[in-house]
Amino acid sequence: MHTLIIKDLCVEIENKQILKDFNLQINSGEIHAIMGPNGTGKSTLSKVIMGDPTYKVTKGSIMYDGKELINMSVDERARLGIFLGMQLPLDIEGVTNADFLRTAVHQKLGNEFKLFDFIKDIEKTYDKLSLNRNMIHRGVNVGFSGGERKKNEIVQMYMLKPSMVMLDEIDSGLDVDSLKIVGDSVMDYYGVEKPGILLITHYQRLLDYIKPDYVHIMMNGHIVKSGDASLVKYIEENGYGNIDEKKVSSIGSCVIKENIADE
Amino acid sequence: MNKIIIVNDEIKEKTVDDNIKLELLEKNILFDVNSLKFKVLKDTSLIIEYDSTEKTKLDLFFDVDKDVNFNIYEIRKGIETKVQYKYYLQANSNTNVFKFYYGDRIRELDIINLNGIDAKINYNFKTISSKHQKYDMMIYHNYKNTYSNIYNRGLNIEDGELVFNVTSIVDNGKVDCVINQNNRIINMNNRKCKINPNLLIEENDVEANHSALIGKFSDEELFYLQSRGITKEDAQALLVKGFLLSGLEGEFKEIVENIIDNRR
């Protein structure tokens, strides 16, 4: 059982506050979806959990399995089992997908790393995501379409076997068929490994494949409403304009500070 | 494959077939320079291994016949070299140059003459600069429909200072030429690095592109690699390797990769 607990998290960049007293708990086996208007801090949240040094944490804590992450480096967090599928995966000239993942998997497994198993796994995963095996030996995301980049993020998730998965707008840039492949692949992984999952998305369509246990609406740097999957339908029909930021609600294992204070 | 091993200004070993005519020209007494001339007659490749154990000067001339495909693979190391290359590329010839240097002090002048219709050069150059290195390249499009693609990559480390001066020249009337310059230096110290990309073009009907960038590896790239559990040190090593291996293939890529791994 793995647990990510974010408590009273405040984050700023260039003196502008992005996250304000943000609270959330995700346990293994739970799927959380975060939705919200553009510029509300959703992607910032995922990057801060991963340790992006661009952002400054001014208050609060991020605990994973009882360990404070805030002073840990990005790679230490990743080796604890945290994974971020990025909204805009970079292309890196000259570094092949094979070299990149071999280095990453080797660092995770240490002496248990076996090259033959690695090759079998990466080929199987490329097949699963309907990516051409030749792409394994191309530069990381170099010449990849938007959809192929997103699939490549899922390949990396499969290869690294994280226990806490964050997927930041993994549905953007995907056509209908690719969305199904990615959605099904994430759920297949979930079925086997039972990680905690944090999805950041704007659209219902991804949630047709990846069914969230909890849906959170984020505005102005914190969660303003939480509910089950029915909340997505409500947002689709009514937009974010009708969400009253002051009337905060929570369900399940979500920790929302305002509610705790109300009690 | 043809191969020559040069130490200082002398050929120590050579394996050259009939596709290349190699000539040692008379020493220039005034400048104290030895000269080697390669006349390339048929499709072929040449490996050059060049080491300098002392301060060395050398001139190399490559005359590539019309309709010939020619590949040069060069590895250079050593203390101090001052080398001049002159390329004379005839009609419909295609020359691919792959160079990897990891010497200390280097001054080099490359003069590329595209002398016939459809003459092409792809120039892929990588260097690790740990002292002072300066490269002056002149690319003359002396005929219409000629093509040059110059791809320079320098990694500046330790006490390195690195300069790329790259000048492409097209006179009036030399229509339909294609010129690409892509120069990049990763500066791992705070010493002086400079790129001067020049396009001296008098003809309107040409396609010319250039990009020049001096900087460090980006924080975004490091974050991406580290987010997969790779330590910062290993992430940087991967980026260095990728930077220096980009565009290389096959056996030459493996040789360069081994050199990079051994230097780490």
- d(CA B20, CA B41) in angstroms, rounded, equals 6
Q: Are strands B33-40 and B20-28 parallel, antiparallel or unpaired?
A: antiparallel
Q: In 3-state terms, what secondary structure has residue A57?
A: strand
Smallest CA-to-CA distance from B190 within B222, B219, B156 is with: B156
In the block, residue with structure tokens 């002073």 = A71
Residues B226, A74: C-beta atoms closer than 8 Å: yes
Shared domain check, B227 and B200: no
Of A74, A83, A139, Cβ closest to residue B223: A74
Which residues of chain A approach chain B closer than 8 Å at the C-beta? 50-54, 73-75, 77-79, 83-84, 86, 89-90, 92-96, 99-101, 103-104, 107-108, 139, 156, 160
Q: Between A146-160 and A176-193, two packed helices, what is the crossing angle to 10 degrees?
A: 10
pLDDT at B32: 80
Shared domain check, B133 and B174: yes
Shared domain check, B137 and B34: yes
Shared domain check, B232 and B212: no
- Which of A216-220, A233-237, A256-260 is predicted least confidently? A256-260
Residues B241, A139: C-beta atoms closer than 8 Å: no
Domain region containing B261: 217-264
pLDDT tens digits for range B144-188? 999 999 999 999 999 999 999 999 999 999 999 999 999 999 999
Give how many domains chain A has, as a whole number.
Answer: 1
- d(CA B256, CA B243) in angstroms, rounded, equals 12
Shared domain check, B241 and B182: no
> What's the CATH number where A53 sits?
3.40.50.300
Shared domain check, B134 and B258: no
pLDDT at B134: 98
| Global pTM exceeds 0.90 | no
In this predicted structure, the answer to whether residue A249 has a pLDDT above a threshold of 80 is: no
Shared domain check, B147 and B76: yes
Shared domain check, B59 and B22: yes
- Decide if B35 contacts B83 (C-beta within 8 A): no
pLDDT at A242: 74
B143 to B41, B86, B117: CA distances (angstroms): 21, 17, 6
Q: In 3-state terms, what secondary structure has residue B48?
A: strand
Of A83, A90, A108, Cβ closest to residue B221: A90
In this predicted structure, the answer to whether residue B31 has a pLDDT above a threshold of 80 is: no
In this predicted structure, the answer to whether residue A64 has a pLDDT above a threshold of 90 is: yes
Give how many domains chain B has, as a whole number.
Answer: 2
Domain region containing A176: 3-262
- d(CA A117, CA A121) in angstroms, rounded, equals 6
Residues A53, B229: C-beta atoms closer than 8 Å: no
pLDDT tens digits for range A116-133? 999 999 999 999 999 999
Shared domain check, B239 and B206: no
pLDDT tens digits for range A72-117? 999 999 999 999 999 999 999 889 999 999 999 999 999 999 999 9
Shared domain check, B251 and B187: no
Shared domain check, B260 and B243: yes
pLDDT tens digits for range A148-164? 999 999 999 999 999 99
Shared domain check, B53 and B120: yes
